[in-house]
């Protein structure tokens, strides 16, 4: 596009062209109807001006016309709805084996941590041609993770994980914006997403200065905080064995069944009494105030790693997809 006056963001994800396609259809149909109204109003206003048409003809109405201009817009709307819904379904379901990046938003910066342990602030390096899933939470207010070039946006909430995913298709550097007003430096809470060729990405990883993978950090915390005392890897513990728990349904003591996703793990750490597993007593203490958002991410990553028989390799290779990633 025009370098000095860009009118359109780059398409750097697989969703971008789909979103743009729907957008152009909307623009086209809207332009058509806008022009239709403008032209009709103009033509009628001129043709039937009172000097040229002194006597108005009283027309009550027309049922066929009313039905036409009700049903046709309705039909067109349903097409838009369906297409928009299809796109949304795709956006809401990250594919299996996506590379995971944890993000913690706080006033007024973005903190990223790759599964492999690299940490970044306000910059996010990613390989091209990969599915990337962001797992995000906020330390304070609501923020929103927005990359225009990918056409994705997801609010980042305190007290909960939210996630979004995208498939990178183009090498380049793209804007990252916070899109939910969060206070003084809201417009300063911006960054870059740097999408790189696989070799360049590997090189970056190697230089990253990672202090162990997230899962390894999580395992350390798991021991440090005393989780291992109750959550043993056998059935003798006072708490449930967490091997293979992630991604599967869990039966609770009140009869409900819930899915063990990121938010379930998080809630179990911070507010354990909210959901108690069937057959266990509600004796788990809360760790609220003792774990940071980053630690929560590490612990979740560790529990996820217990879902597979072998420890995953460092370097962002796709994981054997035992886990059903749900939101």
Which of positions 85-104 make contact with another protein (CB under 8 A)?
Answer: 85-89, 91-92
65 binds another protein (CB under 8 A): yes
Give the rounded distance of the alpha carbon of 90 from its chain centre.
11
Do 103 and 111 contact (CB within 8 A), yes or no? yes
179 binds another protein (CB under 8 A): yes
Nearest residue to 233 via CA among 313, 303, 297: 303
Select from 111, 128, 131, 142 the one that contacts another protein (CB under 8 A): 142
Select from 120, 180, 262, 294 the one that contacts another protein (CB under 8 A): 180
123 binds another protein (CB under 8 A): no
Return all residues near 1 (Cβ < 8 A) that are at least 6 apart.
Answer: 7, 8
Select from 121, 220, 229, 281 the one that contacts another protein (CB under 8 A): 281
Return all residues near 301 (Cβ < 8 A) that are at least 6 apart.
Answer: 100, 102, 115, 213, 214, 215, 217, 218
Select from 11, 14, 122, 141 the one that contacts another protein (CB under 8 A): 141
Compute the least distance from the CB of residue 17 to another protein, in Å.
12
Select from 183, 226, 249, 315 the one that contacts another protein (CB under 8 A): 183
Q: How many residues bind another protein (CB under 8 A)?
A: 97
Do 250 and 260 contact (CB within 8 A), yes or no? yes
Compute the least distance from the CB of residue 125 to another protein, in Å.
20
Compute the least distance from the CB of residue 15 to another protein, in Å.
8
Select from 106, 114, 125, 186 the one that contacts another protein (CB under 8 A): 186
Do 195 and 128 contact (CB within 8 A), yes or no? yes
3-state secondary structure 298-313: HHHHHHHHCCCCCCCC
Compute the least distance from the CB of residue 227 to another protein, in Å.
18
- Measured from the CB atom, the residue of 248 and 256 that comes closer to another protein is 256
Compute the least distance from the CB of residue 165 to another protein, in Å.
12
Q: Which of residues 5-24 bind another protein (CB under 8 A)?
A: 5-9, 18-19, 22-23
Nearest residue to 152 via CA among 140, 136, 138: 136
Tell me if the bond preceding 301 is cis, omega within 30° of 0: no
Select from 17, 28, 84, 223 the one that contacts another protein (CB under 8 A): 84
- Measured from the CB atom, the residue of 78 and 317 that comes closer to another protein is 78
Gap between the Cα atoms of 66 and 204, Å rounded: 63
Gap between the Cα atoms of 123 and 67, Å rounded: 54
Q: Which of residues 198-237 bind another protein (CB under 8 A)?
A: none
172 is written with which tokens?
């380049």
């Amino acid at each position: 596009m025009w370098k000095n006056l860009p009118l359109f963001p780059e398409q750097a994800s697989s969703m971008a062209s789909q979103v743009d396609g729907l957008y152009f259809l909307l623009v086209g149909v809207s332009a058509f109807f806008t022009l239709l109204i403008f032209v009709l109003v103009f033509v009628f206003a001129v043709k039937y001006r009172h000097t040229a048409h002194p006597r108005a003809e009283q027309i009550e109405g027309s049922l066929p016309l009313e039905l036409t201009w009700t049903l046709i817009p309705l039909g067109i709307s349903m097409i838009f709805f369906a297409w928009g819904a299809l796109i949304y379904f795709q956006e809401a379901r990250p594919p299996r084996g996506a590379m995971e990046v944890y993000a913690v938003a706080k006033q007024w910066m973005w903190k990223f941590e790759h599964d492999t342990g690299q940490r970044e602030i306000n910059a996010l390096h990613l390989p091209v041609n990969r599915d990337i899933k962001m797992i995000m939470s906020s330390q304070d207010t609501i923020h929103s993770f927005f990359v225009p070039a990918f056409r994705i946006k997801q609010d980042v909430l305190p007290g909960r994980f939210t996630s979004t995913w995208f498939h990178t298709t183009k090498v380049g550097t793209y804007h990252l914006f916070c899109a939910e007003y969060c206070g003084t430096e809201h417009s300063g809470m911006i960054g870059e997403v740097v999408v790189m060729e696989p070799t360049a990405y590997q090189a970056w990883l190697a230089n990253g200065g990672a202090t162990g993978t997230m899962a390894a950090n999580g395992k350390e915390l798991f021991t440090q905080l005393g989780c291992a005392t109750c959550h043993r890897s056998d059935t003798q513990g006072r708490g449930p064995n967490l091997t293979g728990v992630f991604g599967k349904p869990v039966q609770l003591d009140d009869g409900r069944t819930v899915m063990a996703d990121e938010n379930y793990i998080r809630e179990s750490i911070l507010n354990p009494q909210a959901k108690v597993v069937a057959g266990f007593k509600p004796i788990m203490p809360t760790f609220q105030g003792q774990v940071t958002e980053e630690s929560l991410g590490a612990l979740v990553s560790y529990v996820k790693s217990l879902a597979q028989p072998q420890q995953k390799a460092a370097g962002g290779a796709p994981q054997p997809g035992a886990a059903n990633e749900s939101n």
